Amino acid sequence: MGPLDQFESDQKILRELKDLFEFAPPTKIRRDLEDLFFTHITSEDPSLPNEKELIKSIYYLINFLNVVEEQKRFK
């Protein structure tokens, strides 16, 4: 992948993020993820495979959304 292809790919990702945040602000997405996460953690349902990976994924998503919220405050 050349530099131009990478640039176009990055621009597409940024457009998708913009669309996502217009649909649901980072604060709402973060709250929904936290609700889902804590509901799962406190449930007795062991049916979810690879729980450790889910926890890591949600952790990084919440951190990312916190950074986005913080950056939006300073604009």
pTM: 0.70
User: What integer pLDDT is reported at residue 54 of this predicted model?
Assistant: 81
In this predicted structure, the answer to whether residue 24 has a pLDDT above a threshold of 90 is yes
In this predicted structure, the answer to whether residue 1 has a pLDDT above a threshold of 80 is no
- Across the range 5-32, mean pLDDT stands at 90
Q: Token pair for residue 52?
A: 């450790």
Which has more pLDDT, 50 or 68? 68
In three-state secondary structure terms, 43 is coil
User: What integer pLDDT is reported at residue 74 of this predicted model?
Assistant: 73
Backbone angles phi, psi at 47, to 5 degrees: -75, -15
Residue 3 C-alpha from the chain's centroid: 26
